[in-house]
């Protein structure tokens, strides 16, 4: 099958070769191609909801160590990778949608300091669905969530990954 033009239908999703499925869905969870390897085995999907649910279930059922690994794969918001143009295309678009590419000097300083403090405490970057937020709500969330426990932040972080994943799937599959 030739490379499909996006968005594709659920029937096209179901007919993708294993390799193509992994290629198309390999970054719906940031840099976690393993998710696509697992989820492809659940085909055929009845509809878009079933496809999204399969990725959500993957995130729910993996061990805490794997959840931590997934959280660690995410880039800092408005961080070094963004400054160097090294984000995945998906992350770059999401950060741009939130306005993180247009930070004032003061906002950049606050983001950098807050990101470093958060990562030092929790061992992974602050994760929030950037497409559902703007700069100030992200900064507020970074500062507010710093007071949470490690367990709370793993849960919240994975729930934010679920939102990001669903939006990325909606970019790929017709709805």
Distance CA 85, CA 71 (A): 20
- Could you identify the residue written with the tokens 């000097």? 105
Q: What does 13-51 look like in DSSP terms, one character per residue?
A: HHHS-HHHHHHHHTTSSTT-HHHHHHHGGGPPPSSHHHH
Is 175 catalytic? The answer is: no
67, 74, 145, 162: which one is catalytic? Answer: 74
Cα 33 from Cα 53, distance rounded (Å): 17
Cα–Cα distance, 56 to 47 (Å, whole number): 15
Q: What angle do CA 53, 158, 96 make, to 5 degrees?
A: 95
Which of 171, 143, 170, 172 lies closest to 49 in space, CA to CA? 170
Catalytic machinery residues: 74
């Amino acid at each position: 099958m030739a490379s499909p033009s996006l968005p594709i239908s659920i029937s096209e999703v179901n007919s993708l070769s294993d390799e193509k499925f992994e290629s198309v869905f390999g970054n719906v969870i940031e840099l976690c191609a393993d998710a696509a390897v697992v989820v492809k085995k659940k085909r055929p999907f009845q509809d878009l909801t079933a496809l999204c649910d399969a990725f959500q279930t993957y995130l729910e059922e993996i061990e805490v160590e794997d959840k931590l690994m997934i959280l660690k794969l995410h880039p800092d918001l408005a961080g070094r990778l963004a400054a160097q143009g090294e984000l995945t295309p998906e992350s770059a678009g999401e950060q741009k949608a939130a306005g993180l590419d247009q930070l004032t000097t003061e906002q950049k300083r606050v983001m950098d300091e807050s990101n470093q403090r958060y990562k030092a405490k929790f061992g992974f970057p602050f994760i929030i669905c950037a497409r559902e937020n703007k700069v100030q709500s992200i900064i507020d969330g970074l500062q507010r969530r710093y007071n949470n426990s490690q367990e709370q932040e793993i849960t919240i972080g994975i729930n934010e990954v679920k939102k990001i994943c669903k939006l990325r799937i909606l970019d790929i599959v017709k709805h």
